Structure 1
Amino acid sequence: MLDSTDLRLLTLLQRNAHLTAQDLGEKLNLSPSQAGRRRQRLEAEGYISAYVARLDPGRLGLAIQAFVQVQLATHGPEQSRDFAALVASRGEITSAWTLTGEADYLLRVYCEDLSALHKLIHDVLLPHPAILRVQSQIVMDQFKQDSPLPTRPM
């Protein structure tokens, strides 16, 4: 069970994963060793799954961000596995969700340009035997970046 100090620690780490045990201790009114032990426990219990760097897509030459909805023609374990394998093999697909409603999947993709997005859709996704329909929406502007998860007392 998480207490309010654990939740505050998680909030701080979501904003800056580089905080040391000393930094965390100061912000949480704990000793560095207490803060470090709490962090280790939260890691061991799976609350913290990874530490990552958020990169700037524009600086990497990824000018196009799009969301691609995919509807499968047939639904079964084999089709789902094949589609998941395809998604996992494509670096430009940065995240994927299964959905309720008309579309079965939502993919977030980053591409260098419209030609690369076109190739992904027409040369990779649409030829896949399990896919019936693909619909894409190109992001014009992302005015709120992916933000930390809410951490409130439960």
Structure 2
Amino acid sequence: MTSIDDFDLKILTLLQKNGRLTNQELSDLVGLSASQCSRRRINLEQANLILGYHARLSPDAVGLGMIGLIEVRLINHTAEYVESFHRMVAEQTSIVDAYKTTGDADYLLKVAVSDLAGLSALISQLVAGHQSVSHVKTSVVLNRLKENGLMMLPDSKVRQNGA
């Protein structure tokens, strides 16, 4: 594991809030030169501490306004069933996030679909179409209060920097 200092941590924190910051802007905020910020950013990327840069889109913008949380229990945990389930998760574009968990469920899936019919179809695909799944429990998200560490405004716009 790469050791990071306070400057690296500040760079990571600032980029997490705004991945579009230039090295000069980082320099002004961190207190290092732009070239030092550039070198540090490259080192953080190469150490896989920065996994990528992307635009976070509103689910409504891409027609996937319904968010669901699905708890999944597997029939058993043989390598074949686990690998098969992992492949299905990787291939299913409606599954936004997937977590292996403790407790009653083996996995928690965050899914984004267009509507209830889309959610129903996905659940059917999970239960009927996959031999390793024994049980699912689904919840529909009514409101997103906080997502990716950011508070959401009532109209689902992201609250930026306490605004």
| TM-score of the pair, normalised by structure 2 | 0.87
Q: Which of these residues, 45, 48, 52, is aligned with residue 46 of structure 1? A: 48
- Residue equivalent to 2:59: 57
- Residue equivalent to 1:81: 83
CA distance in 1, matches of 2:46, 2:33: 20
Matched, 1:23 2:28: no
Offset of residue 99 of structure 1:
1.0
Offset of residue 12 of structure 1:
0.6
Q: Which of these residues, 62, 65, 68, is aligned with residue 66 of structure 1? A: 68
Matched, 1:97 2:99: yes
Write the mapping of 1:114-125 to structure 2, written as runs, cut at 5 A.
Answer: 114-122=116-124, 124-125=125-126
CA distance in 1, matches of 2:51, 2:64: 26
Runs of 5+ unmatched residues, structure 2: 151-163
SS state at 1:107 partner: strand
Q: Which of these residues, 78, 86, 111, is aligned with residue 109 of structure 1? A: 111
| TM-score of the pair, normalised by structure 1 | 0.92
State the Cα RMSD in Å. Answer: 1.1
- Residue equivalent to 1:126: 127
Q: Which amino acid aligns with 1:82?
A: S
- Residue equivalent to 1:146: 148
Offset of residue 92 of structure 1:
0.4
Aligned length: 147
1:7-43 Cα offsets, whole Å, 9 max, x none, are: 1111110011111111111111111111111111111
- Residue equivalent to 1:151: none
Q: Which amino acid aligns with 1:126?
A: V
CA distance in 2, matches of 1:95, 1:14: 18
Higher relative contact order (CA 8 A, sep 6+): 1
Structure 1 segments (4+ residues) deviating >2 Å: none
Offset of residue 63 of structure 1:
2.0
Offset of residue 76 of structure 1:
0.7
SS state at 2:146 partner: coil
**% same residue:** 39
CA distance in 2, matches of 1:67, 1:57: 15
Offset of residue 3 of structure 1:
1.0
Q: Which amino acid aligns with 1:49?
A: L
